[in-house]
A and B are shown apart, each in its own frame.
Chain A
Amino acid sequence: MAAINRDDVAHLARLAHIEMSAEELDRMAGELAVIVDSVKSVSEAAGDDVPATSHPIPLTNVFREDVVGHTFTAEQALSGAPDAYEGRFKVPAILDED
């Protein structure tokens, strides 16, 4: 795994909509590099015969039957909305995405 650099952190911060100062970027690049290195050590310890783990518990096929359950009223759904209009969430128009 390649070490993480300051540009990577800036890129991630932008994707995650997190505003970071130059100092924060420098500090975070260092902290994340430690984490990336730690993950690298774990990867080295696990041989090729150990598959990547996405879930620690060996469970599969946890399903629900297709039966209708509870719903919110529009009023309940919108109760935590910063802004609403005619039963819908009102959000700023985001122009740079489609």
Chain B
Amino acid sequence: MTDATLSFEEAMEKYDPVLGFEVHVELNTKTKMFSSAPNVFGDEPNTNVNEVDLGMPGVLPVVNKTAIESSIKIGLALNCKIAETCRFARKNYFYPDTPKNFQTSQYDEPIAYDGYLDIELSDGTVFRVEIERAHMEEDAGKLTHMGGAAGRIQGADYSLVDYNRSGVPLVEIVTKPIEGAGSRAPELAKAYVAAVREIVKNLGVSDAKMERGNVRCDANVSLRPHGRERFGIRSETKNVNSLRAVEHAVRYEIQRHAAVLESGQPVIQETRHWHEDTRSTTSGRPKSDADDYRYFPEPDLVPIVASREWVEELRATLPEPPAARRKRLQADWGYSDLEFRDVVNAGVMDEIEETIAAGATATVARKWWMGEIVGRAKNADVDPGQLGVAPATIVELNQMVEDGKINNKMASEVLDGVLAGEGTPAEIVEKRGLAVVSDDGPLLEAIDAVLAAQPGVADKIRAGKLQAIGAIVGGVMKATRGQADAGRVKELILERLGVEG
């Protein structure tokens, strides 16, 4: 069944969206939150578990100190206050993803609260997102539904459970309601999740791979007529697990809500499931009185006291925040605001930094990544960094161009060869017989012919209009089928015409 939707533009004309996000971050500690079993992704099912993860009777969980420190670091990076004292609580529910029939979480005493994150949108607009809280909890096991429609709970005959993920430390980051984003809500949604992901990756506390579920987002959307203070009824779209999907899911929910409201019906408060294939959501479970989790303080775990000394020690270890890093890099590289924003939006900032570290200048690194690699990545539908261009390759190619061994056009061809797995740039130049004509004889011959064909241009150059030289260089390159070194051609033309360069 497909839900009716309104066009995004019409939805925006009539309604004002309010957003809210719950982002779950899996920490990359060596062991689990409350047990010493390893926190490793992708192993054989039910091998990274011990009695604590399986919730056997009489076991005693013990808190992982590193997980607490990582959580405090996340809180600090989100400009939160860190609770002097906080506690774990039991969230009680029956579902096979937890063998204990409760999830150990935090309820009214999160470890971090009252923070904010300044989110930069693609045009440079800065939007402040207020953070309500960041609390610690444990991940649940992984269920695979068998039979019925593949992988879907509807019509499934039974489910298989792997508890390897059970007990993996999680930090859940909850925003306050986000108002005023207007038509930029989908973009803000994506940028917010990207910023959280960047922060936890930068802190080194999470592997931050969305495709592995290290960062998972639940997106809340509601609409209200323009000018009304009171929020509309929200839906919560679960497990939106890529940055693109976050943007699409928020956009879709805005359009769906608008259609519901237009029809005169109330929006149902419910969870929605995101489907990447159809780029739409379907109804999950409505809110019911089963959502009564009867939280109470976890009796097996004593309170956490974060002394101010400890918090300051941790603050001192924080790396440069991503936003500050961007400012520093832009200044170091001397890029204009527009150039830098293009680099960030193309997702090649880290790659350019690595390329510069490998020996390229900032200009050269940008020319290669923005001019050559981003386009190829787009065609291949992968992130530029995943295309397989090593910084050293760029440095080598650029050196060949600077040494006059090959020209830019050939360098681009060699890059294709590298990506096709034909070898190193040097090997490809050799194999394909690429080399600029460095013997001056044939070049001079070509130059004379072009000068003779364009006497007017030759006169202009003699008269000092050096920018006119481009036409002659172009002619020579054409005559040599691109095999000449443009720099050398330029020198020879000036020499021929007796003009000082």
Contacts and interface: CB of A to CB of B under 8 A. Distances in A.
Contacts of A15: 92, 290, 292, 294
B159 interface: yes
B184 interface: no
B164 to A, nearest CB: 10
Given A63-B64, A88-B160, A93 B49 contact: no
B64 A66 contact: yes
Given A91-B159, A98-B271, A65 B65 contact: yes
A93 B154 CA distance: 9
Interface string A58-72: 011111111111111
Nearest to B40: A68
A97 B161 contact: no
Nearest to A55: B302
B65 A66 contact: yes
B80 interface: no
A47 interface: no
A45 to B, nearest CB: 20
Contact of B163 (A54, A66, A77): A77
Nearest to A75: B46
B50 A66 contact: no
Interface stretch (B30-38, B207-215, B317-325, B343-351): B30-38
A88 B144 contact: yes
A74 B94 contact: no
A17 B92 CA distance: 12
B65 A60 contact: no
B499 interface: no
B303 A98 contact: no
B500 interface: no
Contacts of B147: 93
Contacts of B426: none
Contacts of A91: 96, 158-161
B350 to A, nearest CB: 27
Interface residues of B, number: 60
A60 B302 contact: yes
Contact of A98 (B94, B144, B284, B302): B284
Nearest to B60: A62
Nearest to A58: B302
B407 interface: no
B29 A66 contact: yes
Tell me the interface secondary structure of chain A in the complex: loop
B383 interface: no
Contact of B37 (A11, A69, A88): A69
Interface string B262-279: 000000000101000000
Given A55-B303, A60-B304, A94-B159, A67 B45 contact: no
B163 A89 contact: yes
B451 to A, nearest CB: 74
B95 A94 contact: yes
A69 B31 CA distance: 8
A55 B299 contact: yes
Interface in A1-46: 11, 15, 17
Contact of B302 (A57, A78, A85, A89): A57
A67 B46 contact: no
A78 B305 CA distance: 37
A29 B91 CA distance: 24
A31 to B, nearest CB: 18
Contacts of A71: 37-38, 47-50
A66 B194 CA distance: 28
A87 B44 contact: yes
Contacts of A63: 62-65, 68
B46 A61 contact: no
B71 to A, nearest CB: 13
Interface of A: 11, 15, 17, 54-55, 57, 59-74, 77-78, 85-98
- Shortest 7 CB-CB contacts between residues of A and residues of B: A69-B36, A54-B297, A66-B66, A63-B65, A93-B156, A88-B160, A89-B161
21 contacts: A54-B87, A57-B302, A59-B302, A60-B303, A62-B302, A63-B68, A65-B66, A69-B35, A69-B36, A72-B46, A72-B54, A77-B46, A86-B160, A87-B162, A89-B160, A93-B158, A94-B96, A94-B159, A97-B285, A98-B153, A98-B284
Interface of B: 29-31, 35-38, 44-51, 54, 62-68, 85, 87, 92, 94-96, 144-148, 153-154, 156-163, 238, 271, 273, 284-285, 289-290, 292, 294, 297, 299, 301-305
